[in-house]
Amino acid sequence: MNREITIRLADVAKSFGETKALKKCDFEAHAGEVHAIVGENGSGKSTMAKIMSGVLHPDSGTVSILGEKVNSPIDAKKIGLTTIFQEVLVADEASVFENLFVGRDGVFKSQSGGGDRRAEANEILTRLVGKSVDLDQMVGGLPLSIKQWIVIARAMLRRPRVLILDESSAALDLDSTIRLHEEIDRLRREGATVLIVTHRIAELVRIADRATILRDGVTVGTLQKHEITEENLLSMMTPPDRRASDVKEYASKNRAIAEVSVMTAKNMVAQRTSAPFDFDLPKGSIVGVAGLDGQGQDAFVRALVGIMRPFGGDVLVRSAETGKMVEIATLEDAASAGISYVSGDRKREGIFPQQSIFENLAIGVYRKNLGPMGIIRKPTLKPMFKREVDRLRIKIGSPSNKITSLSGGNQQKVLIGRAFANDPQVIVLNDPARGVDLGTKRDLYRELRAFVEKGGSVIYLSSEIEEFIGFADRVDVFFAGRLFRSLSGDHIAEEPILAAMFGKSENASVEFDLERSA
């Protein structure tokens, strides 16, 4: 490996008012390496990435990128540094082609004479997505994963010498993430420096050459490839006074699950051309939902909570008041029946960006706390707010600050706290741990376990297989738009889940090398 130092930060500090995002940050990265930046939500990772990208200036300390001082994103672009930030930044009203080349030469240059560009764009986007994408279609109607690929392709088309990915695989499934790793490996072989800010432990174990850990704005150490394990990362990320216990302490096979179903779907058709299937959620259980992107699992969980109508079949939930099964056709039906929903796409479906942290968390229970003349009794909500903030260890300043003042992971915690605040009988989570650190994931698992032990029920969709192991009582895998296989007990393991995700028969192994991108 070329040991040339391409990035160096020394004693870097950055504050936002009273909040000290970085206190003492030291960092070095080399040409031709993939270097992970790891830490809990609010540890300063994204602030560090923005300082390297010229978006923010440090209050003190020195920053050198490819031997240059970067004062703005324009400076970064000139020297060959490209950053893909956590939020999926696309222009919905523009075409795929225009989004790929925005900023290259003006705002949106005419496509005339762009034959070479179109060929280049088509080639890289097809390679990334795994199928052809119409370059002339408007981006607004595309799924989140395709939008993420457009952002990634835009960065790759610039042939960066330094590429920073800030949670850029959060919207991608397993198969897509491996294709991204192949592109990262391509850049590594060409001598580029790739920095990955991620919470997906399995991802960085496979791809990273080194990992630097931040805790409360301070660099606490750097691990070499052979040292990058979940145990080492968690130990360094988490303060000694609250080290989380092992996720696998929750042995689903040791728990007794009630035979009564709290929710069912009969003859469900999740996608227009897919086959119908049935689904049941036993009371007091955690059912995981898995599948490669576009296989129907996202449409399924949305139909369960009334966000969209299925193409066929009915969704029924047992009324907590009467014990009878009632139909769920709308979000209002779901809320009335005690079903809470948490979306992983917080920007589009979760937060109210102009509202405060308090309002974003408490808004779900406003109707239950109306006083005379319909005025919300906010003082009565303060104990609930504090309970959820403490429960999920949400790092906030003043509750009156805007939700956007929080890190992405802490914003997600607020949405999860909103779901718990409703005291539901069923919580449906759609990839809730996207952009959430390992310690927070474990806090979430613990709270969901406590919830089901008190009689609640959970449906948990995730794009990360490892989230299910030792946590879910059953994993329902989707393929070709329908529920393809249900796994329980010892079958909740990486290989059986992965085989089902690719439509393999029950006893088949997957001829797919998870390490091929390492």
pLDDT in tens, 196-227: 987 777 777 888 999 999 988 899 999 999 99
Kindly indicate the confidence band of residue 233, based on its pLDDT and cuts at 50, 70 and 90: confident
Is the confidence at residue 63, as pLDDT, over 90?
Answer: yes
More confident residue, 87 or 226: 226
Take residue 238 and report the two structure tokens written for it.
Answer: 């988490």
Summarize pLDDT for 353-372 with one digit per residue, the tens: 888 888 888 877 766 666 56
Choose among 164, 54, 3, 216: nearest CA to 63: 54
Report the pLDDT value the prediction gives residue 301, as an integer from 0 to 100. 94
CATH 3.40.50.300 fits 5-241, yes or no: yes
Exposure of 51 in the CB half-sphere (CA atoms within 13 A): 27
Element housing 347 (H / E): helix 346-349
**Range list for CATH 3.40.50.300 in the chain:** 5-241, 244-338+424-512
Percent of the chain with pLDDT over 90: 35
Choose among 194, 149, 139: nearest CA to 173: 149
DSSP for 478-496?
Answer: EETTEEEEEEEGGG-SHHH
Across 154-168, 175-189, 373-387, least confident range: 373-387
pTM of the model: 0.64
The topology (CATH level 3) of 244-338+424-512 is Rossmann fold (3.40.50)
Choose among 118, 123, 116: nearest CA to 98: 118
Across 238-242, 332-336, 348-352, least confident range: 238-242
Report the pLDDT value the prediction gives residue 247, as an integer from 0 to 100. 44
Kindly indicate the confidence band of residue 244, based on its pLDDT and cuts at 50, 70 and 90: very low
Q: Report the chain's mean pLDDT, rounded to a whole number.
A: 83
Summarize pLDDT for 272-300 with one digit per residue, the tens: 889 999 999 999 999 999 988 788 999 99
- Provide the H-helix boundaries in 61-143: 73-79, 96-101, 115-129
